[in-house]
Amino acid sequence: MKKHKESHIADVIQQMLKRYRIDTQFQEMDIESKWEEIVGPMIAKHTTSIELKNKTLFVHFDNPTLKNEVFLQKSALLAKVNEYFERVVAEKIFIGS
């Protein structure tokens, strides 16, 4: 008789998402839906788009001054995103307008 390893439903779903290569789409949706919690209301208000491709986070802003300020602190922002999700969601960040 074989023993089956018990798995939590979340682990099974995560494995399924990876197998069908749709896990990054869910991560992107997570980032978009939690963006205000991660960065605060002022930065979220001026964010025009967020996109995650190949572990690179692309964030665009409508305010040049804010964009420059975020650019100067992009390492801290990247750390904040990964810390929020308690895993490495993005390895690089690109700040644009």
CATH code for the domain in which residue 90 is found = 3.30.70
Cα-flanking dihedrals φ and ψ of residue 74, to 5°? -65, -30
Highest mean pLDDT among 2-6, 68-72, 87-91: 68-72
Q: Mean pLDDT throughout 83-91? A: 87
70 part of a folded domain: yes
Give the pLDDT score at 25: 58
Q: Note the pLDDT tens digit of each residue in 23-80.
A: 655 566 678 888 999 999 999 999 999 988 888 999 999 999 999 999 999 999 999 9
Give the pLDDT score at 58: 94
Per-residue DSSP letter, 90: -
3 part of a folded domain: no
Domain that holds residue 65: 9-96
pTM comes to: 0.71
4 part of a folded domain: no
